[in-house]
Structures are given as structure tokens and as C-alpha cells.
Structure 1
Amino acid sequence: MAGVFSAIRPFHPSLLRNEQRATAISPPSISGFGVVPRHPNPSRVRHARLPRHLRASIGSSDSSVAVVAGDSARPPDSLLRLTYLEGNSWLWDVGGVRVLVDPILVGNLDFGIPWLYDAAKRFLKKFQLKDLPELDCLLITQSLDDHCHIKTLKPLSEQRPDICVVATPNAESILSPLFKNITYLEPGQKHEFIGRNGLKVSIEATSGPILGPPWQRPENGYIVRSGESVPSVYYEPHCVYDSPALQKGQADVVITPVVKQMLPSFTLVSGQEDAVRLAKLLKAKFVVVMNNGDLDSKGILSALVKPEGTVQSFKDLISREMPDACVLEPTPGVALNIPATLSVS
């Protein structure tokens, strides 16, 4: 790994795939939040073995438009809403506390070298910072541009300089000049904050990938918790983790890539069997599939990374190892609603 990143740093091609094109969806701005029309790939949910009352409440809204951010779309029994913003970006609503994760909302992802690699979102091309709701926390997993996107973070800091930021210490040189209220977490450390609604949220850092020489500090994954009634969430965007450290952990929902992204003789993003092992370690009830390589990309490096495995092959694997787990495939811009009652039979 060190050889790959020392040659092209700060470029980190964790989101590469062969060039693809799709029709853009342009979400208008309505009263401070974005509204995205449904596109032909709605959220797919495997409801097998779910109780009937859960089948009705999990998944996206049944309305003709899906609200990207806003309390009006919250089902009464849903305390966790996960909205995928493509790439590594998410907007989470954790019991009413809004967490923005690894945002890329201004310009393309190009690591400062667009001739080598340049990627755009496929569906949420017009979703912008102004379409975000009020936020409680900014969560940053890694220090490179596909997670810590300076073109997004600089204007975000100008709009919301006092927002609570939780991040890997590797990103300190980028974040400290921009934000005032930052907590840097090493793996194993925790931070608690109070949301605007008075709800306490705990964020625990876990060990992620090492993006550089072996002596470099690992990047972060996170387990986010808020009381007993709100489902807990684990997130790490490379499916790289420290198994012994997670053996005592637990998360109701695991968000992870499941399709590997491969360079010749090198794994950039893991998945498949590793994603199954991760879900088993954390005793997850739900696995949310993350397609962070599904971008419109061009440039010399965009053709080098090849996918290995499919979502279906992952489902086949996990159905044998964890037959009671539910696999969710999010549609960009459409909230997945996870109910408070998480018993699966």
C-alpha cells in the first residue's frame, strides 16, 4: 500500500471505476432542504424473515418525491434515517440529531489532479450545501480528498464555523484552519455531544485503513450511539477494520462497501467475505450496502480499478452466515428509515 500512495499522494483512488454515464437528476431547493424525484433504481430491501410490522416501516418513503432532509418525511416509528449522498457522503438523522459524513457537495472529486482522475456524482449532481438542513455534527473518517474534501469543507466552514466536528487526527492540517469546534479521535477514543434537540450522541472511533507507510496512524471508522431506543450505526468506507478490537463491539446497522475495488495485485476497497465477517463481529441486524465506486469518472487512473464481486454475491454469502440479517440497498437522495424496534425473527 505504501508504494501506491507514495507515488501519487495526495491522490487516493478509493472511488474509481470505469467511466460511466447517467442522466442527471436536479433536485430543487425547497425551504432549506432538497427534494429528489425518484429515479428508476428505488431502494431495494430484503424483507425475508422480517416481522410484518417492520416490513412496513423500513425503506424509503412511498410518496412520489423523497425528502433528502426534513422532519416532514420521518415516519413516526423511525429513529434512524440514512440518506446516501453518493461516493462516501451521507446525511444521517440519529433520533433527530443530524450528522453529515465525508461530504462532497462542491465540484468534482479530482484530488487536485483532474487530468489523472476526475469523478462526478451520477444522480445528485445539483444537490448543494444550501440544500442541507440544520446540522449538529460533521464526521470525517479519513484525511484524503474523497473523505475530507477541501472544496466542500471551506465553504461549509464559512456557513457553519461553530459546527461540532469529529475527525481523524490525520485531517488536522486541513480542518483546524477551517473550524472552531473540532474533536480528533484515535481508535478506541469516544466523544459525546448534545444535539439541538437535547439528545446525547456518542461517537466511538475504530481503526480503519493505513493510507501510507506502515508507521502512519490508521484512519477512522466510527460507532455512533444515542440511547437504547435509537439503532446504533457502524461506518467505515473501505471495509477495513481491526477484528480483535471489534469483538466486544456491537452495532445494529453496519454501513459498508460489499463490492471490492481492485488494482492489479492490490485491494483498494474490500468487501464480500470481509463485509460478512464485519457484520458477524458487530452482530448487525441490518447491513446497508455502500456503492462508493459508482461515479462518473474519467482520467488515466479511472480504468485501472476493477470491481470484484457483486451485491448479489454478497447477499448469497451473508444469507448462509447470517440468515436473519437484512440487507438494504440505498437509493441516492432517498432516506432509508430504520425503526426503533429491531428484533428480527
Structure 2
Amino acid sequence: MYLTYLDNNTWLIEIGNKKILLDPWLVGDLTFANLAWFFKARRLQERLIPENINLILLSQGLEDHAHSRTLKQLDRHIPVVASVNATKIVTELGYTQIITLTHGDTFSFGQSLEITAVPGSPIGPMLVENGYLLKEIETGFSLYYEPHGYHSPLLKKFAPVDVIITPLVDLALPIFGSFIYGRKKALEVTQWLQPQVVVPTTCGCDVIFEGFLASAIKTIGTIEEFCFLLKQNEISAQVLKPQPEERIPIHLSKRKVEIN
């Protein structure tokens, strides 16, 4: 397994001999409803679109997960696995192979990979987007991704999971509080899933944030503090600190099967 962090929520995941482009924002600015005065994110350097992508995986339909300008640059014949909300975006853009997963659904990608949708981030009162579990069939190695730190207790039945990609710090707004949950939520899901490796996401390493909303956002916690929480709770998972465009090999060990 290899992970390449392309900043913000965007990852290239190489698993089961497949290249999965996850929540891509690679070109152009990022705004919501074209309200740049309210929120705008821009890259210091645009990312090259990875070659030989086998699948696009979209957890949400919001622009920071299903970035329209980026999706317009990609081959519309690449298969897409998407949440219900993200399906609307890629349908309008003319993608030809769309697999919509609701919570509990599993998609088998050839004979090498299974993708299961689990409850993820709530968007308003009526919509809950997707988190994903990816399982490599040959080895049994698995990966869990949820970009806002909303982890369903239903995940417990999938334990152990080898790799977790999720926020490790909180992002908060005055009065409203946190809208991205790391810290305690990341610790909780780590206790549930017993991963070998934990990887932070949604950190915007090489991104400049502008606008009214961006100026009010506060970061609470650090990756170092999260590592200390793991140590306090006697959790031995390795915490990685990926740099943008760094292709990281993930070295995993086969777990012993306990026989009662």
C-alpha cells in the first residue's frame, strides 16, 4: 500500500493494484457557491493530475471533496464511487460510470478491492455523507477514511482496521465551536479500530485560506499532542506526518488470529 498526500482532503491511495484518487482538489481555487469573500482557498502550487487513475472516490458533494474544476479535468470514463450527494455533481459533469454507495453498501472493484460506505459527516439536518473502508482482498489489509472526524459506532464491527486517515486536530469557529473533529474523536476511533498506522488529513499544508470564514477559523491541538494521547492510552499505532506529493510506503504486519 502507498499513500500520496495531495493536500487538504486529497489523496492518491495505491491499494489492491489500483490507484484511487480520493476527494480531488488539484487545480484552481476552492470556494463555496462562488462566494470568495466568504471563503477562498488557493494552492501555492497546483498539483499535477496523477496518471493511470483506476477509480475516483468521493466522500461528499461539497466543493472541497468534489471540486468541479478538478473533476472537469479528469477523464469522464474513469469509474467513480460516490456518496448520494457527490453523485449529483459527477452526473452533471457527464461521468459515464458512477457507483453510488449508501451507508452499508459495498462495491467490489474487480477481484482485488472492496469499498464499503459507512456514515460520515452530517451536512445540514437531513444529510449524512460517507466515510469509507477499503479492503485489499489478497492481503486483508484495510484502510478507513473520514475527513471531518465523525466516526460512527458501527465501525466497531470492522475492527481491526490497519490504516486510519482522519483529522487529528480540531478546527473551530467562535460561538459555533468545532466543525472538524480530531483530538478526542481521533483517539476514540483509534481505540475502536486498533490501527497499525494513523495519518492526518484536512490540514492544508500548502494552501492559503482567505475570506471572512477563514479568518475566524482556529486550530485546536497538534499532531504531537495526539501522539501524547496515544502514549497515555498505551496505543502503539504509528502516526505519520505526510508532506504534499510524498509517496509513502505503508508497511503493515499480518495480525495474529486468536483462537478461543
> Does residue 1:126 correspond to 2:46, yes or no?
yes
**How much does 1:273 deviate?**
1.1
- 2:186 alignment counterpart: 275
- Equivalent residue of 1:152, what SS? helix
CA contact (8 A) 2:4 2:13 kept: yes
Q: Structure 2 residue aligned with 1:258, among 159, 168, 185? A: 168
CA distance in 2, matches of 1:338, 1:298: 34
CA distance in 2, matches of 1:300, 1:337: 39
- Equivalent residue of 2:12, what SS? strand
Q: Which runs of 5+ in 2 are unaligned?
A: none
Partner letter of residue 55 of structure 2? Answer: C
CA contact (8 A) 2:151 2:185 kept: no
Partner letter of residue 277 of structure 1? Answer: E
Q: For the structure 1 residues 288 and 121, does the alpha-carbon distance in structure 2 shift closer, same or farther, using more than 3 Å as the test?
A: same
> Does residue 1:191 correspond to 2:107, yes or no?
yes
* Structure with the bigger percentage of strand: 2
**How much does 1:126 deviate?**
3.3
Partner letter of residue 212 of structure 2? Answer: I
- Equivalent residue of 2:31, what SS? coil
**How much does 1:127 deviate?**
1.9
Q: Deviations over 1:118-147 (max 9, x none)?
A: 11234xx13233xx1101110000110000
CA distance in 2, matches of 1:164, 1:176: 12
CA distance in 2, matches of 1:115, 1:319: 42
- 1:69 alignment counterpart: none
Give every structure 1 segment of 4 or more consecutive aligned residues whose post-TM-superposition deviation is greater than 4 Å.
none
Matched pairs, number: 251
- 1:341 alignment counterpart: 253
- 2:13 alignment counterpart: 92
CA distance in 2, matches of 1:119, 1:271: 21
CA contact (8 A) 1:259 1:291 kept: no
**How much does 1:342 deviate?**
4.7
Q: Structure 1 residue aligned with 2:134, among 219, 224, 233? A: 224
Percent of paired sites with the same residue: 33
- 1:16 alignment counterpart: none
The structure with higher relative contact order (CA 8 Å, sep 6+) is 1
- 1:145 alignment counterpart: 63
CA contact (8 A) 1:229 1:340 kept: no
Q: For the structure 1 residues 150 and 113, does the alpha-carbon distance in structure 2 shift closer, same or farther, using more than 3 Å as the test?
A: same
CA distance in 2, matches of 1:323, 1:171: 35
Q: Deviations over 1:85-144 (max 9, x none)?
A: 00100001113210000111120111211122211234xx13233xx1101110000110
Partner letter of residue 150 of structure 2? Answer: V
**How much does 1:164 deviate?**
1.4
Partner letter of residue 247 of structure 2? Answer: A
- Equivalent residue of 1:313, what SS? helix
> Does residue 1:168 correspond to 2:77, yes or no?
no
CA contact (8 A) 1:249 1:281 kept: no
- Equivalent residue of 1:134, what SS? coil
When normalised by structure 1's length, the TM-score is 0.69
Partner letter of residue 201 of structure 2? Answer: M
CA RMSD for the aligned pairs?
A: 1.7
Q: Which runs of 5+ in 1 are unaligned?
A: 1-79
Q: For the structure 1 residues 192 and 234, does the alpha-carbon distance in structure 2 shift closer, same or farther, using more than 3 Å as the test?
A: same
- Equivalent residue of 1:324, what SS? coil
CA distance in 2, matches of 1:236, 1:179: 24
CA distance in 1, matches of 2:20, 2:56: 6
> Does residue 1:247 correspond to 2:247, yes or no?
no
Partner letter of residue 107 of structure 2? Answer: H
Q: Deviations over 1:14-58 (max 9, x none)?
A: xxxxxxxxxxxxxxxxxxxxxxxxxxxxxxxxxxxxxxxxxxxxx
Partner letter of residue 46 of structure 2? Answer: K
User: Which shows bigger deviation, 113-122 or 160-169?
Assistant: 113-122
CA distance in 2, matches of 1:93, 1:285: 17
Q: For the structure 1 residues 246 and 253, does the alpha-carbon distance in structure 2 shift closer, same or farther, using more than 3 Å as the test?
A: same
CA contact (8 A) 1:285 1:342 kept: no
**How much does 1:166 deviate?**
0.5
> Does residue 1:204 correspond to 2:119, yes or no?
no
Partner letter of residue 316 of structure 1? Answer: F
